[in-house]
C-alpha cells in the first residue's frame, strides 16, 4: 500500500474524532498548504508525511510522554516502506515543528520541515486561524472576548504549554499575529502577510462594532511597536542605527583636507547658477553617480566658508549624494526647497 495512504488511514484513527481544532481537517489543510508552497525540487512524499504526522503525538492531545517519544508517529512509520534515513528525517522534522518549539529556540533545519512548519502556522492565521482558536477556546470554556482582560505578550514555552485560560482575542495577540515573523520560506512569508492583514482588519472591525475604544488603542499601539499590518510598514519605522551598513561611503571616499563643515543646497539649477555667480564660487570637489558628476563649490557668506552644491532629485539620490559629501568632511546641510504657484497674479 502507498506510504501516504497508510499514514492517512492511521492518523485518521487517531484524530478523526478530534474537535479541538487539531483534527483531520487541520492535518489535511496543513498537508495541502505544504504541498502548495513546495518547490519542484522538494521531496513531496517527505513533505506530505511530515505534514500528516505533525500532530500525531501533540502534547495537547496525547500528553508530554507521547510528544517527547513520538510514540504514535513511530508506530505508524513502522507500517510504511520509508527507508530508515527517511524515517529519521520525518521524526527529526516533527520534533522541530510547532509554536512552542519556536518559543524554545528550536527551528527546522531541512527544507521539507521548514515548509511544513510554515504550513502549520499559516493554518493558524487568517479566517481559519480565528475559527480554530474560537473552537478550541469554546471547547475549553473560554470566552471569545473579555474587555477587562488583556493579552500576555511576553510568554515562554513553558507558560504557553500550561496556559489553559484566556480568550480568543487574547490568543490572537499572543500568538496569531506573531506567526508572520516566524515564516521560513518565501512562499510562506508571502501568504502569511495576506492572512496577517486580514486578522488586523478583523480586529479593527470587531473593536469598532463592540465600541471598545481602549482595545482599538491597544491594537494601534501593538502595531506601532513592531507588530503591524505589513502593507502599512515604512522603512523609517524599521531603521536600526545599531546595525553596521553593508557598504559605507567612508570606505571608498577620502576626507578632503579643509573641506567646509556646513553645506548649502537647493534643487533649482537656475537658482544654483545664480548663487555660484553671486558669491564667486570656487569648485572644490565633484559628487559622482551613474548619471554623471556635479560640482561642489566653496563660497563665502558674511565671513563664513560654505559648500554650495545642487541636490539631485529624489530621496534615494539625495541620500547617496549627502553620504558622499559627509565622507568628504561635510557635517551639516541647509536645504532650500522650491515651490511655485498656479495663479500668476501672486507676486514672488
264-283 tens-digit pLDDT: 999 888 889 999 999 999 99
Q: Which three cell numbers stand for residue 7?
A: 499514514
Sign of CA dihedral 18, 23, 24, 25: positive
pLDDT in tens, 293-345: 889 999 999 989 999 999 888 888 888 888 888 888 888 999 987 777 787 77
Dihedral pair phi/psi, residue 301, rounded to 5°: -125, 115
Average pLDDT, the chain: 87
| pLDDT at residue 78 is higher than 80 | yes
User: How does pLDDT run across 62-73, given as a tens digit for each residue?
Assistant: 888 999 999 999
Task: Give the residue carrying C-alpha cell 505544504.
Answer: 34
Please give the Cα distance from 28 to 51 (Å, whole number). Answer: 8
Q: Which domains does the chain have, with CATH numbers?
A: 3-237 (1.10.3210.50), 249-336 (3.40.50.1580)
Residue pair 115/90 in contact by the 8 Å Cβ criterion: no
The segment with the largest mean pLDDT, out of 13-17, 152-156, 204-208, 286-290, is 204-208
pTM recorded for the entire structure = 0.64
* pLDDT at residue 38 greater than cutoff 90: yes
Q: Give pLDDT, residue 244.
A: 62
**Bridge partners for 335 per DSSP:** 265
CB-CB contact of 297 with 282 (8 Å): yes
Amino acid at each position: 500500500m502507498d506510504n501516504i495512504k497508510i499514514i492517512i488511514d492511521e492518523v485518521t484513527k487517531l484524530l478523526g474524532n478530534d474537535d479541538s481544532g487539531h483534527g483531520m481537517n487541520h492535518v489535511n489543510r496543513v498537508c495541502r498548504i505544504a504541498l502548495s508552497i513546495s518547490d519542484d525540487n522538494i521531496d513531496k512524499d517527505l513533505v506530505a508525511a511530515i505534514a500528516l504526522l505533525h500532530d500525531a503525538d501533540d502534547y495537547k492531545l496525547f500528553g508530554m510522554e507521547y510528544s517527547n517519544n513520538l510514540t504514535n508517529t513511530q508506530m505508524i512509520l513502522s507500517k510504511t516502506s520509508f527507508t530508515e534515513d527517511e524515517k529519521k528525517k520525518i521524526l527529526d522534522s516533527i520534533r522541530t515543528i510547532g509554536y512552542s518549539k519556536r518559543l524554545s529556540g528550536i527551528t527546522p533545519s531541512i527544507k521539507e520541515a521548514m515548509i511544513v512548519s510554515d504550513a502549520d502556522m499559516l493554518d493558524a492565521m487568517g479566517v481559519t486561524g480565528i475559527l480554530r482558536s474560537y473552537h478550541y477556546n469554546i471547547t475549553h470554556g473560554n470566552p471569545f472576548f473579555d474587555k477587562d482582560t488583556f493579552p500576555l505578550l511576553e510568554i515562554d514555552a513553558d507558560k504557553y504549554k500550561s496556559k489553559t485560560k484566556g480568550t480568543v482575542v487574547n490568543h490572537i495577540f499572543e500568538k496569531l499575529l506573531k506567526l508572520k515573523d516566524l515564516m521560513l520560506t518565501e512562499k510562506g512569508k508571502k501568504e502569511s502577510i495576506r492572512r496577517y492583514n486580514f486578522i488586523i482588519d478583523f480586529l479593527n472591525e470587531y473593536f469598532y462594532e463592540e465600541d471598545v475604544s481602549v482595545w482599538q488603542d491597544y491594537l494601534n499601539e501593538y502595531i506601532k511597536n513592531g507588530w503591524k499590518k505589513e502593507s502599512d510598514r515604512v522603512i523609517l519605522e524599521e531603521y536600526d542605527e545599531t546595525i553596521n551598513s553593508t557598504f559605507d561611503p567612508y570606505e571608498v571616499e577620502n576626507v578632503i583636507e579643509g573641506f567646509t563643515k556646513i553645506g548649502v543646497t537647493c534643487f533649482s539649477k537656475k537658482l544654483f547658477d545664480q548663487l555660484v555667480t553671486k558669491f564667486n564660487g570656487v569648485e572644490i570637489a565633484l559628487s559622482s553617480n551613474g548619471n554623471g558628476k556635479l560640482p561642489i563649490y566653496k563660497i563665502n557668506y558674511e565671513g563664513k566658508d560654505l559648500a554650495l552644491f545642487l541636490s539631485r532629485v529624489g530621496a534615494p539620490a539625495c541620500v547617496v549624494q549627502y553620504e558622499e559629501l559627509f565622507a568628504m568632511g561635510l557635517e551639516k546641510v541647509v536645504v532650500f526647497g522650491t515651490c511655485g504657484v498656479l495663479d500668476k497674479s501672486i507676486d514672488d
